[in-house]
Amino acid sequence: MAKLKDLSKKQELLSGGHRACAGCAHPIAIRQILMAANMPVVIGCATGCLEVTTTIFPYTAWKVPFIHSAFENSAATVSGVETAYRALKKRGKLDKDIKFIALGGDGGTYDIGFQSLSGAMERGHNMIYICLDNGAYMNTGIQRSSATPKGAHTTTSPAGKVIPGKREFRKDMTSCMIAHNIPYIAQAVPSMWNDLVTKVQKAIAVDGPAFINILVPCRLGWGYPPEDTIEIGREAITSCYWPLYEVENGKYKITHAIKEKTSIADWMKKQVRFKHLFNPGNESILEEIQARIDQDWERLNELCKM
């Protein structure tokens, strides 16, 4: 497990002064990711909130090599760079160890970037792909993605007389990556820094592809006060909406035990995007969501026993 004393001595590799919203979980997560690095890293980042808020020309908040990719090809870009690095190292033109990290939001990971991500994982590149999942295309106006939870209001799944928010359950992207049989897969939330940093350290140590899905609450798209980001993330864990677990060489493990499971409805009440679900007549939707959460949590516990 990561130790705070050791991390406190490390240089900050993401500077302040970026343009992220107050309360944005993106820079919190990135600082933790970069603190975990015990070797030089190269970052590839898809277009999205993180990229536009940290690299507005001619400025950059990054203190590590940074490559901006298109929305859909962060994994393809970084897999190409990693291949070039291996070739140069084989020829004796490079001698230091470098780790390559690709970053993408849920839109660029679950949806339009899924093909390049799947290809990179299948080919076995020695890289880490980290999805920063805030549950919608937040940077372009809060449109629904396949990571958007059922019932959430977005500009393309607006709650009203026609539909009660997004009608479909979210895609289980972490399970999609598990199906690729790569060495290391995990879910994390920056609200639990020691869990997140430890998982990134494990991913860096892997010789081969690794995937980490990080929930990054969005105070604008979710609709909550900016000072509540960390608590919203914690309740995502305790409600089992976003359980913390890892799959290491096929072995499942819950990395943060839930001592007292909380209601998914209590978590949703704190977010404007779910406000309409608490109007009379929508009780069945809340019941359906809770039933799915319970089912998935039970299934995960069974997998961890195997």
Q: Are 40 and 96 in contact (CB under 8 A)?
A: yes
- pLDDT band, very low/low/confident/very high, at 6 (cuts 50, 70, 90): confident
Whether cis (ω within 30° of 0) applies to the bond prior to 58 is: yes
Residue 297: exposure state from Cβ atoms within 10 A (0-12, 13-18, ≥19): middle
Kindly report, residue by residue over 165-176, the tens digit of the pLDDT: 999 999 999 999
Mean pLDDT computed over 160-184 = 98
Return mean pLDDT, the chain: 97
Mean pLDDT computed over 90-108 = 97
Q: CA 57, 63, 68: angle at the middle one, nearest 5?
A: 45
- pLDDT band, very low/low/confident/very high, at 199 (cuts 50, 70, 90): very high
| Element spanning 299, H or E | helix 283-305
Decide if pLDDT at 139 tops 90: yes
pLDDT at 3: 78
Kindly report, residue by residue over 236-284, the tens digit of the pLDDT: 999 999 999 999 999 999 999 999 999 999 999 999 999 999 999 999 9
Write out the E strands in 136-286.
184-188, 210-215, 245-248, 251-254
Establish how many alpha carbons lie within 13 A of residue 248's alpha carbon, considering only the half-sphere containing its beta carbon: 15
Whether cis (ω within 30° of 0) applies to the bond prior to 209 is: no
pLDDT at 266: 98
Token duo for residue 79: 């897999």
Closest CA to 290 of 180, 185, 169, 117: 169
Decide if pLDDT at 8 tops 90: no
- CB neighbour list of residue 240: distance below 8 Å, 6 or more residues apart: 258, 261, 264, 293, 294, 296, 297
| Helices H / strands E in the chain, number of each | 11, 8
pLDDT at 5: 79
Q: Provide, rounded to the nearest whole percent, the portion of the chain with pLDDT above 90.
A: 95
Please tell me the least confidently modeled range out of 4-18, 84-98, 204-218: 4-18
Decide if pLDDT at 53 tops 90: yes
Mean pLDDT computed over 183-208 = 97
Q: What does the alpha-carbon distance between residue 286 and residue 152 come to, in Å, rounded to a whole number?
A: 11
pLDDT at 4: 81
Decide if pLDDT at 1 tops 80: no
- Please give the residue range of the domain that contains residue 82: 4-305
Q: What does the alpha-carbon distance between residue 277 and residue 153 come to, in Å, rounded to a whole number?
A: 10
Count of domains observed in the chain: 1
Closest CA to 138 of 221, 255, 59, 261: 221
Kindly report, residue by residue over 223-244, the tens digit of the pLDDT: 999 999 999 999 999 999 999 9
Q: Are 149 and 135 in contact (CB under 8 A)?
A: yes
pTM for the model stands at: 0.97
Three-state DSSP class for residue 206: coil
Mean pLDDT computed over 206-226 = 98
pLDDT at 128: 98
- pLDDT band, very low/low/confident/very high, at 94 (cuts 50, 70, 90): very high
pLDDT at 9: 83
pLDDT at 7: 84
pLDDT at 2: 78
Mean pLDDT computed over 108-136 = 98
> Which CATH number fits the domain that encloses residue 89?
3.40.50.970
